[in-house]
Amino acid sequence: MVLVAARQGDGMRDLIRKGCLRRKLEAGMIRIAARILEGRNVARSPVVSRRDNNDMSYMAEKLEGIADRISRQYP
Domain boundaries in the chain?
21-75
- For residue range 41-70, list pLDDT tens digits in order: 666 667 778 888 888 889 999 999 999 999
Kindly report the pTM of this predicted structure: 0.65
Other beta carbons within 10 angstroms of residue 64's beta carbon come to 18
Contacts of 41 (CB under 8 A, 6+ apart): 53, 56, 57
How far is 2 from 5, CA to CA, in rounded Å?
A: 5
Band of pLDDT at residue 40, cut at 50, 70 and 90: confident
Check residue 44 and give left, alpha or beta (phi > 0: left; psi -120 to 50: alpha).
left
For residue 34, the model assigns a pLDDT of 92
pLDDT beyond 60 at 3: no
